Amino acid sequence: MSTALQRHKVWDRTTRVFHWINAGAVLALIAIGILILNADTFGIKGDAKILLKSIHVYIGYAFVLNLAWRLIWAFIGNHYARWAQFLPFGKNYSASFKSYVFKSKNEKPYLGHNPVARLIISLFFLLLTLQATTGLILAGTDLYMPPFGGYFSEWVTAGDQTRLSQLKPGDKSQVVDSAYKEMRTFRKPVITLHVYGFYTLLIFVMFHIIGIVVTEIRERNGLISAMITGEKVLDDTPQDKSN
């Protein structure tokens, strides 16, 4: 039997801050990524394209640091921020997933992530980690920026200190052709992963938004406001309430 509406603390401040920084960074990276991928169409060339890529990288640094902190927080944060609460594994997960998908009207709500959300969010984190890793590598190959820029700049100049001191992003006058071609060959599968990851991320963002709307309608638990206040409002005792 349902009880009176009760407010439950679920998302701690760190988790909420991560969520909104991540949302802003991802949307900004997607917008700039679209401009970069369509630079010729928009007439973006030369220094303007280098500037655009540089902005993309700087936002990417904020995105990577924020993601890294969230992955650490999954070990030390509150009950609902931890790995066990959003990875699609563990005792009875399969049964819980099936039960949620074919949910009966009498099934108790979830305070943290429901079983379907756990699967989606785990894949989302995996995709974000892929984008972060490939993005850092590409920042080194395209703009010679940290953390791998020093390695790639030495590679394309064959270690020549004179060339290295004058090397600039977008300027091939100081590169050794054979070394530069080798670097670009190495870069090719990385950029392919990053671009396909980008398109996949677009799909995930759309699914994420749709999932939020559907869950909000289905469960009516203040899912959206919970990422602002940290609290969910339920009319029944949640089946995943921490002790």
pTM: 0.90
Nearest 5°: the CA angle 105, 84, 208 is: 60
Q: How far is CA 17 from the centre of its chain?
A: 14
pLDDT of residue 243: 61
pLDDT of residue 1: 45
Residues 110 and 239: beta-carbon distance below 8 Å: yes
Phi then psi for residue 228, to 5 deg, are: -110, -50
> What local confidence, expressed as pLDDT, does residue 135 receive?
97
Write out the chain's pLDDT in tens, 243 residues: 445 678 888 999 999 999 999 999 999 999 999 999 999 999 999 999 999 999 999 999 999 999 999 999 999 999 999 999 889 988 888 888 888 888 766 667 788 888 888 998 999 999 999 999 999 999 999 999 999 999 999 999 999 999 999 999 999 999 999 999 999 999 999 999 999 999 999 998 888 888 888 877 777 777 888 999 999 888 777 777 776
Nearest to 109, CA basis, from 231, 2, 226, 229 = 2
Q: Which amino acid makes up residue 180?
A: Y
Contact (Cβ atoms closer than 8 angstroms) between residue 216 and residue 224? yes
Q: Which domains does the chain have, with CATH numbers?
A: 6-104+112-232 (1.20.950.20)
Given a contact cutoff of 8 angstroms between Cβ atoms, the answer to whether 233 and 7 are in contact is yes
Helix (H) or strand (E) holding 179: helix 177-219
Instruction: Determine contact, residues 43/50, Cβ cutoff 8 Å.
Output: no
Cα distances (Å, whole numbers) of residue 40 to 5, 49, 53, 84, 103:
55, 10, 14, 46, 50
